[in-house]
Structure 1
Amino acid sequence: MIRLLASVRDVAEAVAAVGGADFIDLKEPRAGALGGLPHARVREVVAALRHIRPDVPISATIGDHPAEELARIDALVAAVGNCGVDYVKVGVAGGNAQAQHALLERLAAAAPAVVPVFIADRGLDFDVVEQACRLPFPALMADTEDKRAGSLFDCVAVADLARFVALAHRAGKLVGLSGALREEHLPDLAALVPDFAGFRGALCEGTREAKLAPGRLARLRDALRAATPIGGREPMLIEPS
């Protein structure tokens, strides 16, 4: 079963989403792909969710920062981690591969657990992905930055996404896919069988900056479960050439 990650921006959205989502992710969609929320708001949402559903996994983003900003990223990971979340999501983007390699090494030593999010608008660098697979991250994600340019499936070939999922699973990690995903992409997700899929725009009335609509979340949750019945499909495995 592919689990549903819902991105929310405040307590009201979190409360509306927590009954139907498997993961709650805290971000500010008006501030970019991985826009960070004020830390006081992160603590407020975490406190509300722990009261309502203590077992729900909660992640939060630190904002969009290029890989070269190591000191800034270090400080933000520590600050967001201190807000009580289970995972801190950090984008792996910008700069060159060397900067991204250095970033991953730093993130691997952070606490609480960091989930690297590979920004894949121009594809995936598998040297960097394979390094992340060797490091002690609990999960990896692929996402996109420019939501107006199409979905993750418009930016990355299905064969490359299958390779990404297979590498992460082979390394014993959870793997998630996100990036302007909507109900029309559920068959492609079902073929890839990631552990979770992240949604924001598909849960809103209008653009991803609008309010989360609980009815949309419920419909998408049901459609996702119908597309990926337990034991119903094997993951698509495509070996690297």
Structure 2
Amino acid sequence: MTALLASVRSTEEALDAAAAGADLIDLKEPLEGALGGVRTDDLWRIAHALRARYPVKPISATIGDLPPDALDTIAARVAEVGDAGVDFVKVGVMPGPHARACLTHLAGLDATVLPVLLSDDGIDASLVDHAATLGFEGIVFDTAGKMGRTLFDCIDGATLARYIATIRASGAMACIAGSLGWPQLDQIRTLAPDVAGFRTALCENGRTSRLDPRRVAQWADALHHAAPSAAA
């Protein structure tokens, strides 16, 4: 089964998503970019409300969009977000000359970091291999651009399948996101990642609009149950 990660920006959205069947609640502010960070006091407030009603439901949060060579700033934000009461801290890593060092740095921080490999221009296999050696609990493939191109437009399914196998062999969760929607459902089911993350597909009118719990429920059902067979 692929778990549903729902990205939310408020307490109301978080509680709605959890009640509608989202397996993981991800806190981010879509107005601030692909991995825009929620204000720290709001992070604490949302996490506290979720814990009160759903004490074992995992919560992740992003630190904001930062360049991979800003290691001190990244470390400070990871500590700040981690102290807000979330289970996982998501950090975007853009491919390039600083990506490998950034991943190594993230692995040494005192928080449960999920590196998000931003894959708009593809991801080199050696970077995935390196990430898989560092002991992360999960590794995410996502896109920085949210203008219509999906993750599957950036990395073909066969390559993603190889990367997911590498990550799982290391004992980590393999997670995907990146403007995914109903046209990609069959590809998601074929790939069968541990987690699939969504924002736009769960909202009423684009990623900056209100999350719709009915859409969350539809996606939870689609991911938790296999497609009906042709003979059914």
Do they fold alike, i.e. is TM over 0.5?
yes
Same amino acid, percent of matched pairs? 45
Deviation digits for residues 64-118 of structure 1 (CA, Å, limit 9, x no counterpart): 1111111111110011011011010000115x23x11111111101122000000
**In 2: Cα distance, 1:33 partner to 1:111 partner:** 24
Q: Where do residues 29-178 of structure 1 align in structure 2 (5 Å cutoff)?
A: 29-93=30-94, 96-97=96-97, 99-178=98-177
The amino acid across from 1:204 in the alignment is C
1:206 aligned residue: 205
Deviation digits for residues 122-162 of structure 1 (CA, Å, limit 9, x no counterpart): 00122111111000100000000111141111111111111
1:238 aligned residue: none
**In 1: Cα distance, 2:123 partner to 2:101 partner:** 17
Decide whether the 8 Å contact of 2:60 with 2:89 is kept in 1: yes
2:7 aligned residue: 7
**In 2: Cα distance, 1:164 partner to 1:206 partner:** 32
Aligned residues: 228
**In 1: Cα distance, 2:155 partner to 2:204 partner:** 26
Q: Secondary structure at the match of 1:88?
A: strand
Give unmatched runs, 5+ long, in structure 1. 233-241
* RMSD of aligned alpha carbons: 1.4
Aligned in 2, Cα 1:228/1:110: closer, same or farther, shift over 3 Å?
A: farther
1:235 aligned residue: none
**In 1: Cα distance, 2:16 partner to 2:211 partner:** 8
The amino acid across from 2:119 in the alignment is A
The amino acid across from 1:42 in the alignment is L
Large movers: runs of 4+ above 4 Å:
none
The amino acid across from 2:44 in the alignment is R
The amino acid across from 1:205 in the alignment is E
1:221 aligned residue: 220
**In 1: Cα distance, 2:206 partner to 2:126 partner:** 34
**In 1: Cα distance, 2:222 partner to 2:130 partner:** 34
Give unmatched runs, 5+ long, in structure 2. none
Decide whether the 8 Å contact of 2:203 with 2:210 is kept in 1: yes
Decide whether the 8 Å contact of 1:65 with 1:93 is kept in 2: no
Q: Secondary structure at the match of 1:91?
A: strand
TM-score by length of 2: 0.95
